[in-house]
């Protein structure tokens, strides 16, 4: 009979025998982490143990119930969900959402701070016929309602930039300029952008120059191979080592989180990505 204990032991053995994943990575200038949802078939404790061995510093995109798990392995949650009421289609660009988002953040941000979670995610929402200018004004108003909560607890709200071409049709925050405009107007050290390199490569390209010009408004990075959002290897078009080096050269102190769906052995793919982005 296969019990939970034997299943976990088997999984641990599998992790331990994954040669490439077992080799500790050299610590570089970037603080790297990994998004939980991309490795959802691996129990979180096992993922944390492997991540620590590989040389990562945290786990991205955890629910509050899981905030403490990475700490058992010397890691931290690097990006949390603090307002589930806010989704990719339904976000800050609609004023009717603001009261519920504020209420959720009044609970979720202190919870994140208590667990040592430095960032919480936010979304613009879809256009649904709304102009980008009106959506930006609404998002600014919404963030102005909650920025003091973030400032009081030293937690950064990161509005994610996503592509509307492949993965998230009609999403409003689909260009860096839109997000930068919102962040500038809110003018808070605790309201930044989550610059997803995969998504912005699809929408804009010109990654390194765009990052250099706007680094002061970026609080967090996500990775993912283009096309397909898979491994950071030679099957895709982004020069990841060059991008990582450019981010590090800017003195970026936030987290550089891997958010790709691995092909092949997942921990081997993750270890390879960490090595590629170690600068």
Instruction: Collect all residues with Cβ–Cβ distance below 8 Å to 36 and sequence separation of at least 6.
Output: 44, 47, 59, 60, 61, 62, 66
Helices (H), 39-186: 44-54, 98-114, 132-153, 176-186
Task: Give the integer Cα–Cα distance in Å for 44 and 69.
Answer: 7
Tokens 């976000």 found at = 91
Average pLDDT, the chain: 93
Task: Quote the pLDDT of residue 10.
Answer: 45
Give rounded-to-5 percent helix, strand, coil for the chain.
45, 15, 35
Segment 33-62 shows an average pLDDT of 98
Neighbours of 130 (CB within 10 A): 16
CB neighbourhood size of 214 (10 A): 17
pLDDT in tens, 156-202: 999 999 999 999 999 999 999 999 999 999 999 999 999 999 999 99
| 75 vs 1 pLDDT, higher one | 75
C-alpha distances (whole Å) from 11 to each of 49, 50, 115, 260 are 11, 11, 27, 21
pLDDT score at 93: 98
What tens digit of pLDDT does each residue of 203-215 get? 999 999 999 999 9
User: What is the reported pLDDT for 27?
Assistant: 77
Q: What is the CA radius of gyration of the chain?
A: 18
* Whether residue 9 has pLDDT greater than 80: no
Cα(222)–Cα(260) distance, rounded to whole angstroms?
Answer: 9
Task: Provide the Cα torsion 109, 110, 114, 116; round to 10°.
Answer: 20
Output the pLDDT for position 6. Answer: 41
Report pTM: 0.92
Strands 31-35 and 156-161: what pairing? unpaired
195 burial (CB, 10 Å; 0-12 / 13-18 / 19+) is buried
Q: Is the pLDDT of residue 15 over 60?
A: no
Share of the chain above pLDDT 70, in %: 91
If one compares 8 and 84, the residue with the highest pLDDT of the two is 84
CB 254 within 8 A of CB 31: yes
**CB contact at 8 A, 150 and 198:** no
User: pLDDT digit string (tens) for 86-139?
Assistant: 999 999 999 999 999 999 999 999 999 999 999 999 999 999 999 999 999 999
Query: Looking at the predicted structure, is the pLDDT value of residue 20 above 50?
Result: no
Task: Assess contact for 190 and 119: CB atoms under 8 A.
Answer: no
**Proportion of the chain above pLDDT 90, given as a percent:** 90
Residues in CB range of 94: below 8 A, 6 or more apart = 125, 130, 138
Average pLDDT value for residue range 30-59: 98
Cis? peptide before 227, omega within 30° of 0: yes
| Confidence at 25, pLDDT banded by 50, 70, 90 | low
Reply yes or no on whether the pLDDT at 235 is more than 90.
yes
Q: What are the pLDDT digits (tens) for 191-201?
A: 999 999 999 99
Tell whether the model's pLDDT for residue 64 goes beyond 50: yes
**Partners of 158 in the β-ladder:** 121, 192
| Rounded Cα–Cα distance for residues 193 and 20 (Å) | 33
Q: Where does the pLDDT of residue 24 fall: very low under 50, low under 70, confident under 90, or very high at 90 and above?
A: low
Domains of the chain: 29-276 (3.20.20.150)
């Amino acid at each position: 009979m296969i019990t939970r204990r034997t299943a976990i032991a088997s999984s641990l053995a599998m992790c331990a025998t994954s040669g490439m994943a077992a080799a500790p990575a050299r610590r570089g200038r970037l603080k790297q982490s990994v998004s939980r949802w991309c490795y959802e078939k691996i129990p979180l404790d096992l993922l944390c143990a492997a991540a620590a061995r590989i040389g990562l510093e945290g786990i991205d995109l955890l629910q509050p119930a899981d905030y403490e798990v990475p700490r058992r392995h010397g890691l931290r949650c690097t990006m949390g969900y603090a307002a589930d009421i806010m989704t990719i289609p339904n976000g800050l660009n609609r004023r009717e959402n603001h009261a519920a988002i504020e209420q959720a953040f009044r609970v979720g941000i202190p919870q994140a701070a208590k667990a040592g979670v430095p960032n919480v995610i936010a979304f613009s929402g879809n256009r649904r016929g709304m102009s980008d200018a009106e959506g930006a004004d609404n998002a600014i108003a919404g963030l102005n309602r909650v920025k003091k909560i973030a400032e009081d607890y030293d937690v950064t709200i990161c509005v994610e930039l996503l592509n509307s071409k492949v993965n998230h049709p009609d999403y409003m925050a689909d260009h860096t300029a839109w997000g930068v405009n919102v962040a500038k107007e809110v003018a808070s050290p605790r309201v930044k952008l989550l610059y997803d390199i995969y998504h912005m490569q699809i929408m804009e390209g010109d990654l390194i120059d765009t990052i250099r010009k706007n680094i002061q408004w970026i609080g967090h990075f996500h990775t993912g191979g283009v096309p397909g959002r898979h491994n950071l290897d030679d099957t895709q078009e982004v020069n990841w080592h060059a991008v990582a080096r450019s981010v590090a050269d800017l003195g970026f102190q936030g987290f550089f989180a891997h958010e790709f769906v691995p092909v092949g052995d997942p921990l081997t793919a993750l270890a390879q990505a960490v090595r590629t982005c170690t600068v």
